[in-house]
Every structure is written in C-alpha cells, then in structure tokens.
Amino acid sequence: MNVDTMRFIDLRCGVPLTWIATWLVKLSSVFVPSGKTKSRNILFLELSEMGSAILVDPAMRKAREAFGAELFFCVFSKNRESLFLLRTVDERNIFVIREDNLAHLLTDTMKFFTWTREKNIDTVIDLELFSRFTALLTGLSGAKRRVGFFAFHNEGLYRGDMLTHKVAYNPHIHIAKNFIALVNALLSDNGEIPYSKTAVTDKEIALTKVSPGDGEKDRVWKKVKEQYPSLDKGAHHIVLMNPNASQLLPQRRWPLAKCAGLIGMVLGYDARAVVLITGSPAEYDEMQALVNGVYNPRCVNFSGKVEFAELPALYSLATLMVTNDSGPAHFSSITDMPTFILYGPETPKLYGSLGNAFPLYAGLACSPCVTAANHRKTPCRDNVCLQVISEKEVFDAIKPLLKTKAGK
C-alpha cells in the first residue's frame, strides 16, 4: 500500500477504533491487578521510519541496562533490515508486519496480539508520534505498562487514551532525547503528569560504533571494482552520493540536476575521486539516468550493488557521503565517515544524524513543514527549501576533505 492509502485508513478507521479500544482497555484494567512489577520483556514499536531504528538505539540500550530486560521490536517488513546494523534486538525477537496490502496488514495484526502474549510482553513503548495504528497495537497488546506520547491539552491527532505512562512530546529537543524520555517514564517511582520530568544529556544519545572487519571491507571493495575495473587503492578514493528519499516524504529530495552538478564539480576538482551513486535496486534505472547525464567514467551507478548488512563496510571505505535526509544519513552514523546531509521539510535540530554529520539547511520561514501534528504530510509541491541549497554551497562544505585526498 502507498503512504497516502495508509494515512487514509489510519484516519478513517483509526479514530473510531481507538475510541472503542480506549473503553475496552479501561474496562479490562478493572480486572487486572495493579501491583508494581519490574519490566522484563520490553517491546518497542516503530513501523515506518528506517532511520528510527538507529535513533532509538540509545533508548533501547538504556532500557536493557536499567531493567535487565529482554528487548523486542515490531516493524514493517520493508524496514526490518535496519535493525540488523546494530543488532541490539535479537532477530528472534523482531515481529514483522507486512504492509504491502490490506489483507497482509490485517492478518499480521491479529498474529501480533497472539505473539505479544506468547512472549509475555509486559511493557510496550510506542515510538510513533502520530500513528493510531500503533496506538491500537499498544493498547490491545496485553502489556501492563504502555508508554507513549500523549497530546494532553494540545490540539493534535486523536490516538485514544490507552497509555499507563503518558509522555509529553517535546518538539524542541532531538527525537532521540524524546525516546530516552519514554524510558525515563518507566524509571520514575512516582506517577507524573506529564512524564517525563527529567533532563536528557547529549551523552545519553551517543551511538555505538561499528567497525567492519578487513574481510567485509575487502568484499565491498571487490564489488566496487566490478563496477569500476580501473579502481586502484593507491590512486583512488570513494565519494558516495545518495540522491534519494523515501516515498514517505519525497519533498526531501535535492533536485537530481543539482546532484549532477555537484558530482561534476567533485570529479573536475579531484582526479582521484570515484563517485558512487547509492540507492535501492528499484532506483537503479533512475540513478543510471543521473550517471548518463554526468557522463564521466568515474561516476558509477552503485544502486543495489551491496547488501544492507554491507553498508557499514561501504561507509568505512568511503571518504565522505552527501545525502538527502533519509535512512542512509542515519545508517552512516554508526561509522566515522563524514556525512553531509541536506535538510528542508525537516530540521536537523529534531531529526539530525547522531554521527559524524554536517547539516546543510537553508532555514526558510516555511521550514520545517512536517510535524507530529500534521501526520508528516505537507501541502508543499515545490521544495524551494532544498532547491536554494546550491551545488557550490555543498561543494564548499566537502572541499576541505577532497583537498586532503587530492593532495592539494
């Protein structure tokens, strides 16, 4: 199903269903003992954003350390692999919901409610800001402790009232700190309205780094050489360009013409640079058109040429990456590779990479235009916020690194 169809279902079906579920949960709570017990099996819910699997990792590690708990995760099938980069959650503890059609969605939802009870899930942390679907999954999961963001007196999306720990989402701090606040709510000895009355430091959202072995890097280097046979470790270095953004928010795309212009500037300045265009296998043809437009043998279409698990090795080999605000901006954060990220509809203050990242953001009066209150759906069809970021501006940002590699 496409994103707009899922939004429509979430609105038209989600509102009445969450209202009904609220009363069912309140009624059932009358018969459930209220004694305090420690969280042992904690389920995190984040369905739609691949990058969130990285951004929530500090919160998951804190939950495991604080409670000695076993961690579980529920995610859409298309985003499942994003959990394998850091492997904080055991693969056996990941529940996948297929979102390709309504029949699969409904079938897997029913299986989810059985699965949570089989796994004795006692705590659910809903990471979504706007999804009524995850509110239903949380409320009907059978867990005694249900943590998530709650609107309180804010005018926002109605998601029912099924949470035992209602956390105030803070739009002025990074989303990773908001995720930590969800865990802090569980750690509070006293009931709070709202949770969580705690400070979250920058140190708490530091990511674990991944160091691929020489064998992994050699395999990826070989794949690059298959696409560019002239590749020589002594004569070349790799620059990555990721021009794509998910279908969830296509307004995050920097124009392909600007991508081509930047690549031309890089190749013209640095004779040692080999630019790899990254993307999924489905994006290969579109990226090939970009490569054809650049018309330089050192610009290579690398879309779909590495497995998801090989991304850390690719990033460890590269000098830098220029990317739209999308999954790779966060995937690269578990390595030390410098990543230059183009922002427009969203702001790096809230959704910035936690790695070695350098944001490029025009900060127009209309930006950011997607929030928790509008279901991350903007009316904008002309992303001037990205169009005004020039090729020269990006080139000037990456030039110091290129200059070192080029020996200038």
Q: Is 21 within 8 Å of 113 (Cβ atoms)?
A: no
How confident is the model at residue 30, as a pLDDT? 77
Q: What is the pLDDT of residues 317-370, one digit of tens each?
A: 999 999 999 999 999 999 999 999 999 999 999 999 999 999 999 999 999 998
Contacts of 100 (CB under 8 A, 6+ apart): 1, 77
* Other CB atoms within 10 A of residue 211 CB: 11
Contacts of 350 (CB under 8 A, 6+ apart): 171, 173, 174, 175, 368
Write the single-letter amino acid at 55: L
Sequence spans of domains, the chain: 3-205, 214-406
- Please determine, for residue 310, whether its predicted confidence score (pLDDT) is greater than 70: yes
Tell me the torsion sign for CA atoms 152, 153, 159, 160. positive
Question: How many whole angstroms separate alpha carbon 169 and alpha carbon 190?
Answer: 19
How confident is the model at residue 335, as a pLDDT? 96
Question: How many whole angstroms separate alpha carbon 141 and alpha carbon 138?
Answer: 5
Nearest CA to 207 out of 327, 73, 333 is that of 333
How confident is the model at residue 219, as a pLDDT? 97
Domain 214-406: top CATH class: alpha beta
- Please determine, for residue 33, whether its predicted confidence score (pLDDT) is greater than 70: no
Q: What is the pLDDT of residues 238-264, one digit of tens each?
A: 999 999 866 667 889 999 999 999 999
How confident is the model at residue 51, as a pLDDT? 84
Domain 214-406 in the same topology as domain 3-205: yes
* The two structure tokens encoding residue 257: 């013409």
The proportion of the chain whose per-residue pLDDT surpasses 70, expressed as a percent, equals 96
* Cα 52 to Cα 93, 153, 258, 331, 354, distances in angstroms: 17, 27, 28, 10, 11
Q: Is 292 within 8 Å of 284 (Cβ atoms)?
A: no
- Please determine, for residue 52, whether its predicted confidence score (pLDDT) is greater than 90: no
Contacts of 136 (CB under 8 A, 6+ apart): 14, 17, 18, 21, 160
Read off the pLDDT of each residue in 289-301 and give the average, rounded to a whole number.
96
User: Could you say which architecture CATH assigns to the domain 3-205?
Assistant: 3-Layer(aba) Sandwich (3.40)
How confident is the model at residue 408, as a pLDDT? 63
* Cα 104 to Cα 4, 52, 110, 282, distances in angstroms: 17, 23, 10, 22
pLDDT band at 13 (very low <50, low <70, confident <90, very high): confident
- Please determine, for residue 130, whether its predicted confidence score (pLDDT) is greater than 90: no
Q: Is 125 within 8 Å of 44 (Cβ atoms)?
A: yes
Q: What is the pLDDT of residues 153-207, one digit of tens each?
A: 877 778 999 999 999 999 899 999 999 999 999 999 888 899 999 999 999 999 9
Question: How many whole angstroms separate alpha carbon 195 and alpha carbon 169?
Answer: 9
DSSP-derived letter for residue 70 is: E
- Please determine, for residue 32, whether its predicted confidence score (pLDDT) is greater than 90: no
How confident is the model at residue 36, as a pLDDT? 67
Residues linked to residue 125 through DSSP beta bridges, in sequence order: 44, 147
Write the single-letter amino acid at 324: N
Read off the pLDDT of each residue in 54-71 and give the average, rounded to a whole number.
96
Q: What is the pLDDT of residues 394-407, one digit of tens each?
A: 999 999 999 988 66
Question: How many whole angstroms separate alpha carbon 60 and alpha carbon 73?
Answer: 10
